[in-house]
Amino acid sequence: MGVHCNFCHARGADGKMDFASDEKPEKNMAREMYKMAASINKKYFKGEKDSTDMVIGDIKCITCHRGSPHPDEVKDMGGMDHGNMHGPGPGMGMPPNGKRDSVPPPPHN
């Protein structure tokens, strides 16, 4: 996501990274995002697990984040700003009726 460890992990009183600490809300958000991705992969894909008990699937952090710590900052390859991407609808490049197949293809340059 283009961030360093201290984006999610707090520093201890000694100045070193305290990886066990849950002080920063970003760490708990990352946990929720992992759970969300695992749930989607389990429901819509095979949902198999790797050797660390993580669900393997097509949905990964990069699917939405694309190198940004906040998915609503993502811009597509054509530079079109998708705005707030927190739910289905026009903000995700979806038409108001929610049917992806009704989105016209992009123009060819």
The pLDDT score that the predictor gives to residue 9 is 95
Nearest to 59 by CA among 44, 74, 71, 73: 44
Q: What is the pLDDT of residue 51?
A: 87
Please tell me which residue, 109 or 51, carries the higher pLDDT value: 51
Q: What is the mean pLDDT of residues 20-39?
A: 93
Share of residues in the chain with pLDDT > 90 (%): 29
Greater model confidence, 22 or 65 = 22
Q: How far apart are the first and last CA of the chain?
A: 30
Q: What confidence score (pLDDT) does residue 11 get?
A: 95
Q: Is there a contact between 63 and 92 (Cβ–Cβ < 8 Å)?
A: no
Burial class (CB in 10 A: 0-12, 13-18, 19+), 41: buried
102 Cβ contact partners less than 8 Å away, ≥ 6 residues apart: 95
pLDDT tens profile 76-104:
555 555 444 444 433 344 444 444 444 45
